Amino acid sequence: MPIRLPFLRPPERQRSAPSSFPILAGDRMVEVTVRRNVRARRYVLRLDRKGDGAVVTIPRRGSLAAAKAFVAGHAAWIAERLAARAAVPEVPAELAIRGVVHRVVSTGSPRGRVRLLVEDDGPAIEVPGEAPHVRRRLADFLKREARADLAAAVAAHAGTLGVRPTAIRLKDTASRWGSASPKGELAFSWRLVMAPPFVLDYVAAHEVAHLREMNHSDRFWALCERLCPATAAAKAWLKANGNALHRVP
């Protein structure tokens, strides 16, 4: 007969904390994603930038129960913000391109291409297609422009440092404007093309500098400022205006 020893039994599996939970906000259920951040000092609630849900950040000593109570206390705020988001027009009235605000003109014609115009009442961007397709065509246009601008900026900075990236990729990340991998791959948010050119140039310089210094040491920042003297101004601009770049198109 086999002898079973209690201390040799496999440990019981602990249930992992849920990654999200639903809450009633107004007249509809909203899914709330849970994030933990050991550096956070308080509970933080925000809307999901890409969906119709919300995100709650739990500080180091926080609990899921307290997070649920915190979110419940702000259910009305979630409902109001989601309603305001739903009220955003399908076609934006204006759009910044390289830091210059352009009026969006939808032609309604199925044929044609996106064009930048200079009209009597200021810069404009002409977009063909019906309303449901205008936002996609705007995004496609901005991605093409961003790739060209970033490729030129990366080439210039890489030439200065004598380095060469293995690839340049475009993404639509909400948490960072650029990244560099140990393999030399650089990735950028295509939304940088909406910012003033010195901002895009800084982010390109920042990631190229990582090809020399894969850290954020004093030597790294010295490289950044050497490549882009407007480093401090660009960082300040992104801190003050970066969120607005995610609202359109």
pLDDT tens digits for range 10-65: 444 444 556 899 999 988 899 999 999 998 999 999 988 766 889 999 999 999 99
pTM for the whole structure: 0.68
Residue 37 CA to residue 215 CA, distance in Å, equals 21
186: how many CB neighbours lie within 10 A of its CB?
23
Report how far residue 173's alpha carbon sits from residue 211's, in angstroms, rounded to the nearest whole number. Answer: 21
Between 246 and 87, name the one with better pLDDT.
246
Three-class SS state of 47: strand
Would you say 70 and 56 are in contact if contact means Cβ atoms under 8 Å apart?
yes
The stretch 86-112 carries a mean pLDDT of: 83
Question: Would the CA dihedral through 195, 201, 202, 205 be positive or negative?
Answer: positive
Query: Is the model's pLDDT at 4 over the cut of 80?
Result: no
Asked whether the beta carbons of 194 and 142 are under 8 A apart, the reply is yes
Per-residue pLDDT at 80 exceeds 50: yes
pLDDT of residue 14: 44
Residues 106-151: tens digit of each pLDDT: 887 777 889 999 888 889 999 987 766 788 889 999 999 999 999 9
Burial track 13-28 (b if 16+ CB lie within 10 A, e otherwise): eeeeeeeeeebebeee
> Among 23, 20, 48, 45, which residue's Cα sits nearest to residue 34?
20
Domain spans, the chain:
20-86, 94-246
Residue 16 has a pLDDT of 52
Q: CA 173, 174, 177 angle in degrees (round to 5)?
A: 65
Name the token pair of 85: 């988001």
Cα torsion 199, 146, 165, 180: sign: positive
Q: Which residue has the tokens 């790739």?
A: 147
**For the segment 64-75, what is each residue's pLDDT rounded down to a tens digit?**
999 999 999 999
pLDDT classification of 81: cutoffs 50, 70, 90: confident
Q: What percent of the chain has pLDDT over 70?
A: 89
Rg (CA), the chain: 23
Identify any residues that bridge with 33 across adjacent strands, giving them in sequence order: 20, 55
- Tell me phi and psi for residue 25, to 5 degrees: -120, 110
CATH 3.30.2010.10 corresponds to the domain 94-246: yes
pLDDT tens-digit readout, 197-244: 999 999 999 999 999 999 999 999 999 999 999 999 999 999 999 988
145-150's contacts with Cβ under 8 Å and 24+ in sequence apart are 145/97, 145/193, 146/170, 146/188, 146/190, 146/191, 146/192, 146/193, 146/200, 147/190, 149/98, 149/192, 149/193, 149/197, 149/200, 150/188, 150/192, 150/200, 150/204
